[in-house]
Amino acid sequence: MSSVSSSEPSEKLLSQVVLGISLSSLILLTISGNVLVCLAVCASRRLRCLTNCFIVSLAITDLLLGLLVLPFSALSLLSDEWLLGPDFCNLYICMDVMLCTASILNLLAISVDRYLAVTMPLRYASVVLPWRVAMVMACVWTVSIAVSFLPIQMGWNTPDGKVQNHRPEDSDKECKFELNRPYVLIDSLFTFYLPLVAMCWTYLRILRIARAQAKRIISARPACTTTSYTRRNNSPTRTTVVSSVTAVALREHKATVTLAAVIGAFVVCWLPYFIMFTVMGLREQLEQGTLYSVVLWLGYANSALNPVLYAALNRDFRSAYARLLKCRCPSYNGWRTRQPSPTVTAAGQELTEVTLLCGHTPTTCRAGQADKDLMLQEVSSSSTTATVQLANGTATTDLNGSERFC
């Protein structure tokens, strides 16, 4: 019996250590990733544009969440009690609700911005103006404050209408977030369910437009393939010439996968929490057990993923990351980075991967500009690159979308 009883504290200590390391890693990842986004915009002139305002706003929101909320959430979870008093408890809960809401609404603003960039490329610059972007960001923070500080400090979120954690029967060692039906329905509807529907609709529309344009280009320019053999470095090399249809199909496929990752990460991270939040609010009781902690930290994990999903997919951001981290990559060893080749629509509008995934303003270009032959060069079965024959040089493109010009 003594051996069994002595093993229980050691197992609990080990689990606490593993949990502490995991939570600390997530917090550091959230802070470092979002700091990197902010530094990239400050350090790169290419990134200081209006369309990246929402990316920066999202990064600042997630950074504040990592600095002001996640350490106290981890401390409360590891100690199994609240050590900082009822006043700071309510302030902590207000900041938690405000910053999580602002993060979700910033994601919604990004999706709407990309939808406008794809559906109205010629009018985008005249529609998305600085004062309108400022108004949207002000609305994001106004709504976030309205569903956090105001109801919680006034007691509108509790079943009895009193301020939580300040009643005589409340314990100073507990930090409870109380819920009632009206607050839960209003908060979850306007800060998650409606933004979720809007994000799904906008990204599906973007994906449908990309597929429709890819089909039009493919049907207008049938593929033709020619194979020839050359010798380079005393080794035979097979070269296959393929029309621009292949590049269109590859880019459309990559856009599909990336948009699925963006919306999938948002749903996986936040949907379990808001389902549990809604159910407990309708029952007017919040059971802060293990399951609640798991779904809450799953939602927090979305703030660590956002710098990857919404910034690192942009070539300009990746170049800025490489400069900040001083990475030695092929694009800086004698290669000069080029923007991706445009895919020209029937109306002569440019719909690039950057427009689809990173919210850059689309530009117009002449019809036929993208009608360049691609040469798929198979040096071995494990390495495949595409080469665009240009009048002033050669641009090589990996199948994952990175392009270099020499």
Work out the widest C-alpha separation in the chain, in whole angstroms: 86
Residue 377 burial (10 A CB sphere; 0-12, 13-18, 19+)? middle
Cα distances (Å, whole numbers) of residue 76 to 73, 80, 84, 288, 303: 5, 6, 10, 11, 20
CA distances to 268, 310, 374 from 121, rounded to whole Å, are: 31, 20, 27
Distance (Å, whole) CA 221 – CA 209: 18
Q: How many Å apart are CA 262 and CA 162, to the nearest integer? A: 40
Beta strand pairing call for 336-337 and 374-380: unpaired
The whole-number pLDDT of residue 51 equals 79
Output the pLDDT for position 372: 34
195: left (phi over 0), alpha (psi -120 to 50) or beta: alpha
Architecture of domain 16-223+246-334: Up-down Bundle (1.20)
Find how far residue 397's CA is from the centre of its chain.
Answer: 25
- Please name the amino acid found at residue 200: C
Domain residue ranges in the chain: 16-223+246-334
Closest CA to 96 of 58, 144, 161: 144
* In contact, 369 and 342? CB cutoff 8 Å: yes
Q: Which two tokens stand for residue 393?
A: 């040089």
Helix (H) or strand (E) holding 124: helix 124-127
Residues 29, 36: Cα–Cα separation, whole Å:
10
Q: Please give the structure tokens belonging to residue 395.
A: 């641009």
Contacts of 174 (CB under 8 A, 6+ apart): 81, 82, 165
Q: Whole-angstrom distance between the N-terminal and C-terminal Cα of the chain? A: 74
- Report the pLDDT value the prediction gives residue 118, as an integer from 0 to 100: 84
Regions in the chain scoring below 50 on pLDDT? 1, 4, 241-242, 328-406
CA angle 146, 28, 108 (to 5 degrees): 35
> For 236, how many CA atoms within 13 A lie in the half-sphere containing its CB?
3
Residue spans of beta strands (DSSP E) within 261-313: none
CA distance 209 to 351: 9
Residue 49 carries which DSSP code? S
What the block records as the tokens of 175 is: 């930090």
Task: Return the closest-CA partner of residue 58 out of 17, 5, 106, 101.
Answer: 106
Question: Going along 214-368, which residue ranges are E strands?
Answer: 226-232, 235-242, 336-337
pLDDT of residue 15: 85
pLDDT at res. 317? 84
Read off the DSSP letter of residue 359.
-
* Residue 247, SS3 per DSSP: helix
> Cα–Cα–Cα angle for 188, 75, 33, nearest 5°?
70
pTM reported for the whole predicted model: 0.74
Q: In this structure, are residues 55 and 310 in contact, taking their beta carbons and an 8 Å threshold?
A: yes
Distance separating alpha carbons of residues 30 and 25, to the nearest angstrom: 9
State the pLDDT at residue 93.
Answer: 94
Residue pointed to by tokens 């911005």: 113
Note the pLDDT of residue 201.
92
Cα distance between residue 137 and residue 371, in whole Å: 40
Q: Rounded to whole angstroms, how far apart are CA atoms 178 and 156?
A: 10
